[in-house]
Structure 1
Amino acid sequence: MEKKGKVLAAIFIVAVLLGAGLWAVISSNDEEDIPVTLTDAKGRSVTIEKAPHSIVSVSPALTEMVYAFGSGEDLVGVTNYCDFPSDVTERVENGDLETVGGFFYGIDVEKIILLAPDVVFLEESVSEQISMIPKLEQAEITVVVMFTCYNSTLIKDNIEIMGKALHKEDKAESLIVTMDNKFEAIRSKVENSEDRPRIMLVIWWDESSIWVSGGGSFVDEIIERAGAVNAFEEKEAWAMVTREDVVAADPDIIILAAMSMGDVNTALSVLKSDALMAGLPAVVSDEIYSIFGQSDNIFMRQSIRMVDATYICARIAHPDLFDGKVPKELGDDYSEYLPITWAD
């Protein structure tokens, strides 16, 4: 009798556990099917009837964010410029993922309609993207407009919006907490340093013009969080400056970004051959860095990887506080210079 009681008790426990597991699955599925209403970057009220499983992203930064949510496999369309993570380019090359044209121009709205996605993510500042909304909505395609992120606050806003759109609000909260924790880890290392090197980030430099990242830009926040000073913080977000302006700014460190230039070698050659620049602290101490590929993207793309750029910038500014300097030329291998604990 006692043995029979134990058997019945065991069966009861198993049934409870199985029931709990089944209920968890049912609850999870029910949550995916519950309509969610959000307010997007244009102030539009958008209702997502159920968790989307086919997504088009018309922005490299937003494609990165979709992958950060673990929804990369649901992407059916991206731009020609979407190249991170590497799975994006691999799927495009294999024919498993469609490209829908450019970012600022040349977007193929008809192709997007043919893909019939559950949701399309657009960027608010790109007029050609915004102009597609009526046509997409006429085709009964849900559109969510996201912020163009000029700072980390807007990145977090985008995470929250995308979390609602994907029915992954818990994941959104986790991504924001992780981002904040990484920023805090950097701050705790640099906050007590008396050294605040002046950094000049260049997006264009040839014999006729010089363009730099000024105050209020995405890069400006990266430099500040890295425990340094933007040498052109008094300028507009993206400003053309003179050679004399550069001398007056007196940068301790110069970072040449390849995004606009394509090849930083020309800029480096012009800089080093200019006698007027010979006395700059950055030139005298050879503190000139070239970033290209994914290293360039983390600084210039205004994406969720902003915190990676901040860490790399902090290592450039304060190598003594971290694990030494990074190479003077940094490309797709930038992740090798991040903390091992940051690997996702």
Structure 2
Amino acid sequence: MLKKSLCLLLFSFILVTTGCTQSEERSSAEVTNISNSGKYPMSFDVHTYEGKKVTQTINHAPEKVMIIGSAVAELMVKFGQQNKVVGFAYNDQAHSNFTEEIEKMHLVSEMWPSKEAIIALQPDLIYSIASAFREELIGSIPSWSNRGIPVVSSTNFTIGRSIDIYFDEIKTFGKVFDIENQTNIYLEEQQARIDKITAKAENIKDHPNVLLVSGARGKYFYYSPKWAIIDEMIEGAGAKYIELSKEDYIELSTEAIIAANPDKIIITEFQQPDQEKTKNNLINDKKLQNIKAIQNKDVMVVEYTGAINGGIELADLYEQVAEFIHPDVFVGVVNDGE
């Protein structure tokens, strides 16, 4: 009887352990299937701060993302990925349509985060503006790759800023998070609105000269077409973007602005939430009163990130620029479905 009981007990133990082993194997297989169900592992190219192209590999869908820069934060919210953010740093934007959602993110630092702060969060991906990847800031992209943490970089002024480059960044975002269905719809909608403007602009004969200036602490700065996105909007809407230097970014003297004598001025100011103040400071500048744009108060203030870096509401800004440059052509047209 005892022998029979021992046999039954042993048989039960074998069933239980076998069941557990099969369960563990099944769980392991499910994890493997989840990891490989989409497009992972995937490889893609990014640019270092210096402009060198490097390849990054992501082995699974990102779940713990460290983000740096408000434009990146906007992307995460726009496409429903904010729950994956474990840390946010460098809140560089004064205005955003996603401020409420961004403020809910765990703010690691208002400015550049430390390497130690990032490592402590144990992210499986760092998504950042390219300027952060310097040794004196958070370290180079290869240094993070050596730690086993892949990186996505964006807004790299070394390679330049353009609408095409910005759209490529959106495509990379969609690929990384396996949401290309969403990003493709967004890109198609944005491009359709842009095409609508450029098609109407083809018949425009009068091309006013437009100067972009960046205001900061009572000074004015110039951005070359390589270092801005808004130049394409100005040209696409039937105007001429005034180029004043071969340099990508320089301080402008009032004499240079007077000599250019633009028909219209578009001004932006980094992290300045009071656009009316920015506009009035320019219009009331006593040294610029003989300029046509100032005399006619033909001045437009735009948000910095969208104008220079490129932002998620890109087509909105394109339409606003078009309406400012040619109100007779674009007022009431860009949004009326024509």
TM-score by length of 2: 0.73
**One-letter identity of the residue aligned with 2:80:** G
Alignment counterpart, residue 117 of structure 1, candidates 123, 130, 148? 123
Q: Which residue of 1 aligns with 2:260?
A: 249
What corresponds to 1:63 in structure 2?
73
- 1:165 and 1:120 map into 2 onto residues whose CA distance is 12
Q: Deviations over 1:99-142 (max 9, x none)?
A: 23255xx3222222222222111333442556154564455332
Report the equivalent of 2:14: none
Distance 1:145 1:205 in 2: 27
Partner of 2:335: 339
1:141 alignment partner AA: I
- The alpha-carbon deviation at position 229 of structure 1 amounts to 1.3
1:288 pairs, out of 296, 299, 306, with: 299
Q: 1:263 and 1:179, CA in 2 relative to 1: closer, same or farther beyond 3 A?
A: closer
The match for 2:85 is: 75
Contact kept in structure 1, 2:141 and 2:151, CA below 8 Å? yes
CA offset digits 1:211-235 (Å, max 9, x no partner): 2333333232232123221233555
Q: 1:98 aligns with which of 106, 109, 120?
A: 106
* Partner in structure 1 of residue 190 of structure 2: 179
1:38–1:164 CA contact under 8 A, matched in 2: no
Partner of 1:311: 319
Q: Is the 1:215–1:236 contact (alpha carbons within 8 Å) kept by the matching residues of 2?
A: no
Give the alignment partner of residue 35 of structure 1, picking from 29, 36, 41. Answer: 41
Paired with 1:255 and 1:107, the residues of 2 have a C-alpha distance of 33
Q: 2:201 pairs with 190, 194, 197, which one?
A: 190
Q: Which residue of 2 aligns with 1:272?
A: 284
Superposition deviation, residue 263 in structure 1: 5.9
Partners of 1:69 and 1:227 lie apart in 2 by 32
Counterpart of 1:119, as a letter, is L
Instruction: Specify the SS of the correspondent of 1:144.
Output: strand
State the structure with more CA Rg: 2
Q: What percent of counterpart residues are identical?
A: 23
AA matched with 2:201:
V
Q: Identify which range, 242-251 or 136-145, moves more after superposition.
A: 136-145
Q: How many residues align?
A: 294
Give the gaps of 5 or more residues in structure 2: 1-32
- Which position in structure 2 is the counterpart of 1:328? none
Counterpart selection for 1:141 from 125, 146, 149: 149
Secondary structure in structure 2 of the residue aligned to 1:100 = strand
Q: Which moved more, 1:83-92 or 1:314-323?
A: 83-92
Look up the SS of the partner of 2:270 in the other structure.
Answer: helix
Range moving further from structure 2, 139-148 or 150-159: 139-148
Aligned CA distance change for structure 1 residues 242 and 112 (closer, same or farther; 3 Å): same
How big is each residue's C-alpha offset from its partner over 1:192-222, in whole Å with a ceiling of 9 and x where there is no partner?
Answer: 1112121222212676x43233333323223
What is the aligned partner in structure 1 of residue 233 from structure 2? 222
d(CA) in 2 for partners of 1:140, 1:233: 45
Task: Name which of structure 1's ranges 29-38 and 306-315 shifts more when overlaid on structure 2.
Answer: 29-38
In structure 1, C-alpha distance between the alignment counterparts of 2:217 and 2:90, rounded to whole Å: 27
